[in-house]
Structures are given as structure tokens and as C-alpha cells.
A and B are shown apart, each in its own frame.
Chain A
Amino acid sequence: MVMQRSNLMQFIGVLAFFLIGFGPMSRMTAAEKDYYRLLSVATSKAPTESRSKNWKPSPEGLPLEISGMTFLDDQRLAVAIRKGEIWILDGVYDEPAVNVTYKRFANALHEPLGLLQHDGALYTAQRSELTKIRDVDGDDIADEYLTAAKGWAVTGHYHEYAFGPKLDAKGNLWLTLNIGMGLKGDQLKRAVPDPPLGYRQGRWRGWGMVVTPQGTLVPMCAGMRSPAGLGANAAGDMFYTDQQGNWVATNSLHHLRPGVFFHHAEALASMNEPGSTIQGVKKVPAGVPIPEAMKQFPQLRPPAVWFPYKRAGQSPTDIMLDTSDGKFGPFAGQFFVGEFTQAGVNRVFLEKVGGEYQGVCFPFRSGFASAVLRLAQGADGSMFAGLTNRGWSSLGNASYGLQRLVWTGKTPFEIQEMRATKDGFELLFTLPVDPETAGDPASYTMQSHTYLYHAAYGSDEIQKKDLNISSAIVSDDGRRVRLVMQGLRELFVHALKADGVRSEAGKPLLHPNAYYTLNRRPQ
């Protein structure tokens, strides 16, 4: 059928209208939201600033400052909130979530910072103990608050948060204990008496602890500053995140193992306590680069991943393992790490090299309504983010609440995995690459750096060096690229920028930056 001329003109006009009108939009970089939609279940803004001494929640509704999350079943989500309550939410999967119901299950908890359904009860770490909470009489309201473990010091300093629990493959419940920050007055009376190396901290402050299936509290590893996130990988090995500050050069992710020391020297105050897994530290190096510090301090182990400050967040929190098997996109089996200050989520891929975990972090999603403190994966694979920024600050226009991140089904063009090789790195992309750009070494830049180990607050990136990428070899299926380069340095962060790479469809990477912590090179 032949189109009439005027119709043809109209068609061209319409076409041009759309091409020009929306051209600029489509030419803009693809947005995170095209791949992962952010939905609000409930968010609120407090009338006071996040750091105000007079902080008050919104006069409307529940102060949903989520500090712990666990799914009770395919529908109901239990959340701990910072004022000390546990609520059971239903209807959180609704879109829009306008009929969410809230039922208070427990109260009178002292700043609970975790929540786990386990052994027919809800477990949460309060400031002074791990508590097992149950409803015995069947009215859906807790009437039993049993102490599952206690025994760490609480000097009364605000910074002595207790996080957890999370469950590892052996059935251990893990807890992490914040270090205190400059104890004063009565707080010092509750510190370890006559501590080694003169560090004034309460017992087990800065330590990772487990509660065994038999109910015994066991100290495992030390040197934590602000270990706000815990999470096990698919193998059931437990990890934690730490936050930049004194002794902590930048944010980090660590594998929790007995006898390992991470950063914060003041945790050595408990070195000589019965049960300690760290012994014989006589001197703590200070003011030396990390690789050198590790030579001088054998118990000091590098994190599996460093998150370069600002570039990969400012304050990591919870660790969520994607167990959705693809329902949450192409990153099954990887970690997602909450980000407080920048109100986002970063992504981590880990591999084992020489028997130890190391890996890479990528920016993943920004734009949450407030600080992301807790993450949990729903039955449909979507990610629930518990938000609260009180006491610190964050991006976003809310003070607290619950949001949900849903995969749109569209696969973003991302570096899915990055592995160390003998002579460089291998990248696996989520989509086939354009062989020309991906095969061009000029599409990539790489710079490595390390940090200083010292008592000061954070560290600059030091000993920066650009690496020369000599070749980029694209695999036959177009999904993998092998980067060959000189000048790799063990124990250094290797920052990759792959902004020249295009997908087969000509698209740039949604996130061209990746930060690989090369503790060991594969042999």
C-alpha cells in the first residue's frame, strides 16, 4: 500500500519530532534507574537535622530507623528500629506500597543493630548483650527476652555499638563490637585494667565474636573500628565491613577468621584477656605504608577489598549476598554493600587467590532516600534497604525509612567479574563487548596505590603509579577481556577505569570504575 504524500510528510515530521525532542535524552548516559528501580515502602523526614542534639522523628508514623531486617517468610519482614523495637511489616511487596501493616513485636531493646530469624526466635545484638526474643503465649507479641550471650564491656561511650548477629556455615552467630572513642570519667573505670600497650578500651571492644551453637561467646579476631556490616558468602564464610577513621585507612571488607587482626590497634587492650586469639604483639607500627606494616605486624591481615574513599563510598554498612539466582540481575552470588553517607549500594566480587579472599568493588546504585544501614533480599530477589541517617549525615531527602530496589529485567552493561591473573586481570562483562574498543588497550587506564597504617583519621592514597596496559585480548564469545600489564604490585589497590569500552550495542559501561585489591598475584 502506498502512503499518501501528506501522510508521509506527517510521518517524517513525527519521526523528526521524536528524534530531536528525545534525542538529547537518549544520548545522555544510561541511568542506573533504567536497570534498577527504586521504590519507597515508607520514608520520612525528621523536622530536625540528622546531627541535632534535639533530634526528633517525624510527628507522623513510626520512627522507622531500620537497624536490622530479617524476612519471616515470603511476605512478612521483621525490622529492628534504633529506638529499640522490633516491628513486623506486611505488604512491603505491594506496588505502590500503600497498605503496609505494622505490628509491634518487641520493645525495650537498647539500640539493637541487627536482626536474624534463627532457631524459632528473633536474635538481635543490643548494646550489652545478644538477645533471643520469642513469643511464648501465641499473641504475636514477644514475652521472652533471653540473654543468648553477654560478656563484653559496655563503658557507656556512645560509639560502643554492637552489631549482628549473622549466621555462618558452622552455625555460629557472629557479632562485631565497635571500639570506644576516647573514654572519659566513669567509662575508664569499665575499661580493661592495666591493658597491654596502654590502650584504654573495654573488654572485647574492637573484636569480632561468635556465639557457638552451644551458646558460648568466643572472641575470634580483632582490630575493628566501626564494623557496621556482617554477611556470609555462598560458602558460609563470614565477612565484615569497616569504616574509615583512626587506624583505618579507608573503608574495607574483611574475611573473619580466628586470630586475625584488621586495623584498630586499641582492640589490643583485650589481647591478654582469657580466650584472646591474638598474642604477643609488642609494638604496633605506625606511620608506615600498609605493605610495610604487615611485615612488622604479622597478625595484621589485609582486607579482601579496600573501598577507595569517595570513589567507592564513604561509610560501608550491611553486606547482602545475592542468593536470588538471577532474579536480581546478573550478579548472583556477589555481595552488595550498603553505603551510609552517600546513600547507595556498592557491589563486590570476591575470588580466592592463594587460599585467601580478595576482590573488587564497583559502584552499583546511588540515589536512596537516606543512609543505607541494612540490606535484605526479598523472596522475589528484590533488595530491601533499611535507612537511617541520625547522628551522622547522608545524601537523600529523608531521615529514615524502607526502600526497595527492583531489577527491571534489563541487563546493564557492567563489569560483572574482575579476576587477577598472572600478568594482569580478566574482566567478565554482563553483555558482549564491541571487540574494537574492548580490544584497544587505550580504552582502559589503571593506577595502583596503597595507604598508610597510622593512628590518624584515614589515609591519603599513597605511592600512586600508573600501569601500562600492553594488550587487551577479547574472548571469542565477546564476554571476556584479558588485560595484560606490567608493574602489578601486591597489597596495592588497582583502580581500573574502562571508559573507552563499548558494548556490542555501542553503549558505554554503566560504571566504568572498578577497584581491585591485589593482595596476592596468582602464581
Chain B
Amino acid sequence: MRSRVQVARIVVILPLLFTSPAFANAFFFMFFLPSWRSRIRFVLGLSVLLAAANAHGQATSPPFVAGFERFARHGDMSLAKAGDLLVSELSCVACHESGNPRWKPKRGPTLVGTANRFSEKWLREYLDDPNGKKSGTTMPHMLGHLDGGQRQTVINKLVAFLGTQKKPFETVRATGAVAVMHEFWNQGDPLRGRNLYHTVGCVACHQPDAKQETNQTAPTAVDQMISQLDSEELQELGLLRAARRVASVPHGDLVGKYTRQSLAMFLLRPDSVRKGARMPNLRLSPSEAADVTAYLLSEKRREVSIKETLLDPAMVEEGRSLFVELRCSNCHEATDVTSPRMATPWDKLNPETTHTCLIRPAAVMPDYGLDELQVDAIKSILESDSLIVEMDAAERVHHRMLQLNCYACHQRETELTNDGEAGVLGGVGRYRKAYFEMVEQVDLGDEGRLPPPLTGVGSKLQPKALKAVFDQRTTAYRRHMKARMPAYHANAVKHLVENLPVADQAGDKSESLVFGKASDLMFRAGHELSGTGCVECHLYRGESLPGVVGLDLAGITSRVRPEWVHDFVLDPGALKSRTRMPTFFPDGKSNRPDLLEGDVEKQIASLWFYLKDLTNQPLPAKIEKVRSQNYELRPAGRPVVLRSFMQDAGTHAIAVGFPQQTHYSFDSEKIRLASAWKGRFIDARGTWFERFTPPADPLGESLVRFPQGSPLALLDSDNVVWPAWKNQEALYQFRGYQLDSKGVPTFLYRFAQWQIEERIEPLERRGLRRQWKIQRVENEAAKAMDESGVLNVCIHQAKKLDRQTTTQVNGGGVQAQLAVVRGQDNGSGNRIIKTQESERWVVPLDGNDQQMVVVEYVW
């Protein structure tokens, strides 16, 4: 007898096996087992498991409304508020008209485009039994009253009609910033998708995979305590809410429902399909959407093709009528349908009727499968006398946060009951915390990885910043968190943006009222104060001390209200419990009495003003030091060369720094010494790593600039006009540089028939020694360039020159000493040529083939 049952079970199981590779594998695993007896035992166990799994898959549950499940079921909201929420989430007034704005129906997804979004098989199964196909769905069963045959006929007609609902998928625009692979939805990587799903925020609402590994950080003290308490103790301590497991928003049969393309497109733009915004936009890139799709559909063996059936026009038309008749169109958008059929207006409803949508729905009524508590909640508002109660701002915020399930991530203190009992609702909850990670393995506690609590947020953020939080274009502010703040259409969050400041009694004290006026003194003090503590945890316009992961303070003054910043800096713990931000003003006293007379108010103001002007202000000294260690070139032992764009040396600049702390820039386009300076050399970050190639600026002091102009000229002896660069340009040819064994560059260039080697090096810290070695070239090319006249070298140039001796001329803040002229007499023919713009000290050379001129600049 028993064995027959066993065999029967196995027979029943066999076809089921092929629905699940896992079970199939397990089944065939039995052949590894040594005996039939053990195999049968194994299969029996398996059948129990499979039955359980099937039961799980097919289980129905009342419509799942996240806020209701989490709070109403545990008495964290009044029955009336719970009813309010259900009325909007179950879209009651889509049929039962009401003017109450808080019941604005969520409605279902648009069905325009159904034909290319969902599989036909899934559509049929879903219409046949919505809750059976997607446990917890908020779509009511509309065909429950029909028997099998009738139901199939209606489904056939509806599906025929829905088959006409075609809409091409939006084209995803590719740019230099957005990679869009061809058919990107097929290019996803399930492993990356799994990681995204578990980190960007999907699992704040949906079910995580228990097998997903997380970067478990140490539990907080509260978590530890909770785990050691029983429920009575938890209740006594008011920790029940924090200890509770939060149910997940069901996915339904994604594999059977979607194509890869339709799911990826939905993840990319959820609000194009579900305008109710209950599924928010997680700011996925196209490739990320493809990854998450690959993960969610990883069980997909075959891509469902939407059958391109020849649609019988009569069936389509009947389906179209049914779509309205069955009130599908009250919740779902479709093209070419007549206006929806409304039912009894809300205020005419009588909950005591025998058949209602709530209990024992009659044939044409929607069957939501509500449970007792849900019915009671809705009834409680139907029975209430004060139907349209004007909600205050805090209630509006609470209501919207329940609808959008903001509480899945954020905590906020809220009135729980009508008699004013308040408590903190929401947050990711104990069991989901592990999925909220930081970008790097740094422990900033829960504050650094969990979405921020929203108590008082309306009095913290400036209205524009509050609005920007939801905007798709806003880049992440808390970049250290892997979780993302989803984007919402402005209409979806209008109530939050408008009501949060009112609810949180935001003051509107202006900056000047809170902080007074900015001044250089203030900037300097703010700069100094930033270095005393802020830099240990914060970034300043992207720069930070090594290993610091935290908020960037740049832009904070345009995000946060002045008053809030003031109060927070003064006493962080008072505004944000358990924050890691320490107080810098214990007992309201500054530990820097040397700054601004130790005046706490002024010191906080100085931080504000410094941060407000941060783009123009120097970075805090400690950060600047670290930055310069990475990017400042500090010649030690040998000279350091950097080619870059420079203000004085132009776009062909070669900067050379020396250990002697004396440096220069050379313009290799106009072949001239452009500038010289002392002290620190140059910062290379912009040159090395910035796309927009900012000019590299000398860092040191005592900068001298040498005027533009041709450094060499061929002149007749009586010619007193120095030729302009543009007339000489063609005679020059820059040929590069050589480094000697000490690393000192010698520039090589041609001028007419002359080959020149120019070498510039420091005279310790006093100045520079500049040497030209000049040689006549005899090759053909040089001959072609042969020009007549005497070669003159301009050895100094300034607006005004002042001759001291035959070999010393001062000007432009530089003392120039003619040291050597070899190849002729001692340069005695040197002279000053004056023009209106500048004066030049020039040395004429005689016709010898080898020449050398040395001049020393001291400043």
C-alpha cells in the first residue's frame, strides 16, 4: 500500500521536475544513492519539499500595500489612516468618485504597449487569477464570478484587444557619457545585476536573496540588544518596531511575464509604465538595467516571444468593450477606449450592503481578496462622519511617505495615533541593514551607510535642494553609499516638497540674520577652523586627507538652511541623535580662543562664509599639504621638467624646476625664456589629470616675467630697430632638448644659419645663469636660410633698462650681468635698443663660427 503511494507520488512529481532544474537535478541525484530504499526515501523528502515550494508559489495573500503591512498590522497607525492608505493604493475612487485628494488612486500600469511588453501566456494566467499569479497583487480579480469556459472567452477577447496595444520602445540615447550597447537588454551580466539588486536599493522593498553575501559590519549596540531580548522585553523598551521583520513587496512571475527588453526598459524608466511612482527610478544606466534584468530573469530559458496572432477584429472590438465594461480602463491606460464607467460615488456607498467590493463582491465587482483588517480599515472611513478631513502638513507628508513607501529606507518621527502619540517609523529595518554598504570598506557606522532619517528634514534643506533630491539629473550627494536615492517625477513628490518645510516648521531666517556679513577676516578664520577638525571626516571640493570618506562640504551652503547649519555645528547631537559628528564647542565654548576673539557665533559664521566661497578659497592647510605631496613637483637632487600650458610661456611651455629653488619657464614656440621664480615650483595635477587642461601656474614667489619678442636678430651695424617676432618666426626652428648627466636641459634650436644651444640653470638661490652656444651650420638647408647681417643676441629686456656698468644692466626687477662673450672681444659693442614698448640689451657677435654668450640674472 505504502509503496503504491510512493510510486504515485513519484509519478506526480516527474512532470513537475522539468519546471525546475534545481529539483530535476535533485531528483536525478538519487541515482548517486546506493540503494532503491534510500532513493525512495530521498524522493519522498523531495516531494514534500516540492509540494511546499509549489504551495509557496501559488499561495495567495491579501493585497500587499507596504505601509499597511508594516505599520497598520502592528497598530502603528490608526485604523482610519490605514483605511485612507488602502483607498488610494487600491484605487477605490477610480470607480467611486470622490473629491478627497488624499485618495487619489494609485492606478495600475499603463497598458499601452502591452503587446510588446508582456508574454501572452502570462497575461492569460494573470487575468485568470491575478492573486494566484502574483501573490499580494493590488489588482482585483474581475473574472472570478465566471466559470471556466466563460472566463476563457472573456480572456480571449481582452487579450485580443490588448494585442492591439502596441507602442515601440523608447530609443535609449547613447552619448559620450552613456554607453548603450546594441540590444543592450541582452548584454547584461547576472552577477553584476545581483550585486546591483542587493546594493543600490531594490532590496529596500523587494526580497533579498538569502544567499547574497554582504559586507557585514559590526552590529550597533541597539541591534545587539534587540537580538538578545524577547518580545515582551522589546515591547517594554519600545523596540518592537525596530525588531520587526519587514515583509517584501512581491515581484510576481517576472520570468514568465517580461521579455528582457521590456524588463530592462521598465527598470530604466519605471514611471513611463507605472505613473503612480510606487516603483521608483533607481537611476540605473542602460547597462545596469540590463545587468539587473539578467539577474532577475536568470531562470529564463527561452525568450518569450509575444505572439503576433492575427487579431480577429470582432474579438478585438468585443475586448475593447469589455475593457471598459469590466472597468479595466478605470485604472489602466489604453488607446482608443471610451471614458471609464464609474460606479456609485464614494459618499453614496453603503458598507452594510450584502455585496460590496469589500465583502462578498457581486459579479461585476472587483474582488481584492481583502482580509479582515483591511476591510475594517476601509469600513472605518466609510462609516466615519467626518469624511473630508483636511490634513495638516505633517499628515500629508506621512500619507505620501506611506504611499511611496519612503519608509522602506527612511525613518521619520510621526504621529502614530489620533490622540497624538508620536514615534519613529520606518528605516531599512534590522534584517535589511546588511545590504546597505559603503563604497569603500570604511566604518562610519549606520550613519554612513543607511539612508538618512528624515525627521526635521524640512527645516534642514533649502527648498531648492529639497526639490533637487528627487530630480533625475541630481548627482549623488552621499557618494560614499552604495544605495541610491531614487529619482521621482516632480509631480509625484510635489506634496513632499511643499509640505515638508511646513510640517517641520522651517524657519526662514536669512543668511545675514543668522551669520551677519562675510569678510576676509571671516574667510581666513573659516579656513583655519576647517583645519582643526572638519578635515578629518569631510571632503573639500573633492579633496581630502588620505582615507577620508564622507560628505563633501562644497555646496553645503546652497543645500542646507543657514539656521540648521548654525544649530548643528553648535551642538550636533541635539539635531541628530547618535551622529558621529562631534561638537567643537563643548559647553558652548570654542577651543580656539585665538580666532575671532573666541566668539562662537562668529566662528560658526566664519565656517559658513568660508564654505560658501570655497571655490575661491584655499583648501584647508592639511588637505593642501596632502594634495601637494601628490601633485606638486618638488625638485630634489635633479631638475624636474614639465611640459604644459602656462600663462606666460604659452601653449608650448616647458617648465624647469631646480633643487636650488630657482625655476623658469621656456616658451618653445617663440623660443624664449618666459618667466622665472623662486621657492615652490609647480603643481602638475591639472596637466596630468584634468581633461580641460588648465594652465600650470608657478607656485613660488619672486616671479619675473620676460617680455615677448625675438631673442635673436640679424642687424646691420647701424640698425637700431629690433625686428618683430612675426617677421623672424620663419627663421626659427625649435629642435628639442637634451638632458645632461645632471638632468639639466639644454634647448636646441636653429636661427637662420645658426645652430643654438641654450642652457639655463640656477645661480644657487640668487638667480639664473643663461648661456647660448652658437655655431654656424654649413649644410644645404642652412644655406637656404642664410641671411645677411650681424647676429645680435638680446640678453635682457624690460620696459625700462638702467645701465650700471658696461657689463651690468638692471631692469624689470632683475640685475643682468654680461659674464662671458667668447669668440670675439668682451662684448664691448653691447648696446641698449629702445622702442616704445620695451628696451633691449643686445650683444652683437662677430662672424666667428663658434660663439658663446653668458648672462646672469639676479633678483
A residues touching B (Cβ–Cβ < 8 Å)?
A: 6, 9-10, 12-14, 16-17, 20-21, 23-24, 27, 48, 51-57, 59, 63, 82-84, 107-111, 126-129, 131-132, 136-137, 142-147, 150, 154-156, 158, 190, 309-312, 314-315, 341-343, 363, 366, 390-395, 513
Contact = CB atoms under 8 A, between A and B. Distances in A.
B643 A126 contact: yes
Give the 9 A-B residue pairs with the shortest CB-CB distance, closest first. Answer: A13-B31, A54-B542, A391-B691, A83-B688, A108-B641, A146-B736, A110-B643, A154-B651, A147-B736
Contacts of B738: 136, 143-145
Interface string B475-492: 000000000000000000
B180 A27 contact: no
B736 A13 contact: no
Interface in B167-185: 174, 176-182
B734 interface: yes
B804 interface: no
Given A52-B542, A83-B684, A83-B687, 15 more contacts: A51-B691, A53-B690, A53-B692, A55-B689, A84-B687, A108-B641, A110-B644, A110-B687, A129-B652, A146-B736, A147-B736, A156-B645, A158-B692, A390-B689, A394-B179
B496 interface: no
Contacts of A107: 641
Q: Which of B301, B542, B734 has the most CB of A within 10 A?
A: B542
A9 B31 contact: yes
A341 B174 contact: yes
A475 to B, nearest CB: 29
Contact of A393 (B32, B178, B301, B644): B178
Given A147-B735, A341-B176, A343-B179, A56 B689 contact: yes
B24 interface: yes
Interface of A is mostly: loop
B829 interface: no
Contact of B693 (A16, A142, A158): A158
B734 A309 contact: no
B691 A390 contact: yes
Contacts of B669: 128, 154
B486 to A, nearest CB: 19
A27 B301 contact: yes
A48 B176 contact: no
Given A14-B31, A20-B24, A54-B541, A109 B652 contact: no
Nearest to B177: A393
B29 interface: yes
B543 interface: yes
A21 B21 contact: yes
A150 B734 contact: yes
Interface string B298-324: 000100000000000000000000000
Contact of A20 (B25, B542, B739): B25
Contacts of A48: 542
B594 to A, nearest CB: 32
B293 to A, nearest CB: 15
Nearest to A308: B182
B179 A145 contact: no
Interface in B692-720: 692-693, 695
Interface residues of B, number: 54
Contacts of A158: 691-693
Interface string B658-690: 000000000011000000000000001001111
Interface of B: 21, 24-25, 28-32, 34, 174, 176-182, 187, 287, 301, 541-543, 546, 630, 640-645, 651-652, 654, 668-669, 684, 687-693, 695, 734-741, 748
Contacts of A27: 301
Contacts of B29: 13, 17
A286 B3 CA distance: 84
B176 A315 contact: yes
Contact of B32 (A13, A52, A109, A311): A13
24 contacts: A23-B21, A51-B691, A53-B542, A54-B543, A57-B689, A82-B689, A108-B641, A128-B669, A129-B652, A129-B734, A142-B739, A144-B738, A146-B735, A154-B652, A155-B651, A156-B651, A156-B695, A310-B180, A341-B174, A363-B182, A390-B689, A392-B176, A394-B179, A395-B179
Nearest to B543: A54
A125 to B, nearest CB: 13
A111 B34 CA distance: 69
Contact of B181 (A56, A342, A391): A342
Nearest to A154: B651
Nearest to B643: A110
Contacts of A84: 642-643, 687-688
Contacts of A127: 651
A51 B177 contact: yes
A49 to B, nearest CB: 9
A341 B24 CA distance: 42
A326 B687 CA distance: 42
Contacts of B741: 137
Nearest to B539: A54
B652 A314 contact: no
Contacts of B652: 128-129, 150, 154
A17 B28 CA distance: 6
Contacts of A111: 693
Nearest to A126: B643
Contacts of A23: 21
Nearest to A147: B736
Contacts of B688: 63, 82-84
Contact of A13 (B28, B543, B630, B654): B28
B690 A393 contact: no
Contacts of A155: 651
A142 B739 CA distance: 8
Nearest to A85: B688
A310 B692 contact: no
A34 to B, nearest CB: 15
A296 to B, nearest CB: 30
A24 B301 contact: yes
Nearest to B656: A108
A392 B176 CA distance: 6
A314 B174 contact: yes
Contacts of B739: 142-145
A243 to B, nearest CB: 9
A131 B693 CA distance: 20
Nearest to A137: B741
B259 to A, nearest CB: 16
A45 to B, nearest CB: 11
B543 A108 contact: no
Contacts of A342: 179, 181
Contact of B287 (A53, A109, A395): A395
Contacts of A24: 21, 301
A366 B643 CA distance: 36
Contacts of B176: 314-315, 341, 392-393
Contacts of B691: 51, 55, 158, 390-391
A388 B301 CA distance: 36
Contacts of B541: 54
Given A110-B687, A145-B736, A13 B30 contact: yes
Nearest to A367: B189
A96 to B, nearest CB: 20
B651 A128 contact: yes
A94 B736 CA distance: 37
A63 B688 CA distance: 10
A190 to B, nearest CB: 7
Contacts of A53: 542, 690, 692
Contacts of A341: 174, 176, 179
A311 B182 CA distance: 5
Q: Which of B642, B645, B654 has the most CB of A within 10 A?
A: B645
B174 A12 contact: no
A395 B738 CA distance: 41
A109 B179 contact: no
Nearest to A309: B174
A244 B163 CA distance: 38
